[in-house]
């Protein structure tokens, strides 16, 4: 799997952040990074902590009020760690340089020094992704940067009498640059693999004359804990020089390779290729029946 980070194709992909030293010696990072469970706030705190050479506990993230912060772009396209992380890094590096000029270790005294010398305790950070639109005639261009890579291995068991597929094992190997928070990244990959299993063998929106028939989780089947095997995660930390401390995107890439790996495993097990997801028992059994009839 290869996945381009960000909006891509020359679309303006910008992030902004601010970092401000406060009177209690802590730094508040104003960044409109929406955290929908991917751990973005913690990642921004870690980036700021590293840039400022301060404890993570002394970094405060403010991210829920657009009246006092600038636009960081959406929590989409696996762009927040890379794009907005770079904006946070930019702001914090500039603030660190300003703080170092005081030659004082105590951050509260640094704040007083800045106040006494009319030095602003706040710095702004900015980052814009480097992409261009593709020339449709030549195929040339720089539609995305950077790219995340992944490969998944799936082990399945197929009941050739019912068509039921059980996923026994998933191994997910990812190159997402330097992993800033390994525990959260591992959890994200496990969640992505679970979604990939659902996409591959269970989840399907059924329409009848324009109306969705399975409108709730009684009928729209998703994986439970019993459907998801242990997911082994492997990180290939190939440093991305343009990313914050070498990081790249990980959100959507965490699930993209799983379903194809499952479909390939089904083919390896029983010799039928499913092209219409999900590979439900009905579809697998139909393909098996068709295969048997051809060989009779």
Distance in Å from the first CA to the final CA of the chain: 38
Distance CA 183, CA 179 (A): 9
* Cβ–Cβ < 8 Å for 243, 85: yes
Q: How far is CA 189 from CA 22, 103, 233, in A?
A: 36, 43, 7
Distance CA 202, CA 196 (A): 10
* Cβ–Cβ < 8 Å for 162, 281: yes
Q: Which run of H or E residues covers position 289?
A: helix 281-295
The phi-psi region of residue 134 (left if phi > 0; otherwise alpha if psi is between -120 and 50; otherwise beta) is beta
Residues 6+ apart with CB under 8 A from 170: 152, 153, 154, 155, 193, 196, 197, 229, 230, 231, 232, 258, 261
| Candidates 123, 137, 252, 293; catalytic one | 252
* Cβ–Cβ < 8 Å for 170, 264: no
Is 252 catalytic? The answer is: yes
Would you name the residues annotated as active-site residues? Answer: 252
């Amino acid at each position: 799997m290869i996945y381009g980070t960000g909006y891509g194709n020359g679309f303006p992909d910008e992030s902004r952040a601010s970092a401000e030293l406060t009177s209690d010696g802590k730094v508040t990072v104003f960044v409109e990074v929406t955290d929908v469970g991917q751990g973005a706030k913690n990642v921004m705190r870690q980036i700021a902590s590293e840039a400022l050479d301060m404890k993570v506990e002394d970094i405060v993230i403010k991210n829920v009020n657009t009246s006092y912060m600038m636009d960081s772009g959406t929590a989409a396209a696996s762009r927040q760690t890379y794009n907005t992380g770079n904006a946070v890094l930019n702001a914090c590096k500039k603030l660190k340089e300003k703080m170092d000029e005081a030659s004082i270790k105590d951050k509260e005294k640094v704040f007083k020094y800045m106040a006494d010398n009319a030095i602003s305790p706040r710095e702004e950070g900015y980052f814009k992704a480097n992409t261009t639109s593709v020339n449709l005639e030549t195929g040339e261009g720089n539609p995305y940067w950077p790219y995340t890579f992944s490969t998944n291995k799936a082990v399945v068991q197929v009941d050739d009498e019912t068509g039921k597929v059980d996923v026994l094992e998933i191994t997910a190997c990812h190159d997402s640059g330097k992993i800033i928070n390994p525990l959260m990244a591992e959890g994200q990959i496990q969640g992505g693999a679970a979604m990939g299993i659902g996409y591959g063998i269970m989840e399907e929106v059924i329409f009848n004359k324009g109306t969705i028939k399975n409108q709730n989780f009684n009928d729209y089947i998703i994986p439970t804990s019993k459907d998801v095997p242990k997911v082994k995660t492997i990180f290939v930390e190939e440093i991305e020089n343009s990313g914050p401390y070498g990081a790249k995107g990980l959100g959507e890439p965490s699930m993209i390779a799983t379903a194809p790996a499952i479909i390939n495993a089904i083919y390896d097990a029983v010799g039928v290729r499913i092209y219409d997801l999900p590979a439900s028992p009905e579809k697998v059994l139909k393909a098996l029946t068709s295969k048997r009839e051809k060989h009779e």
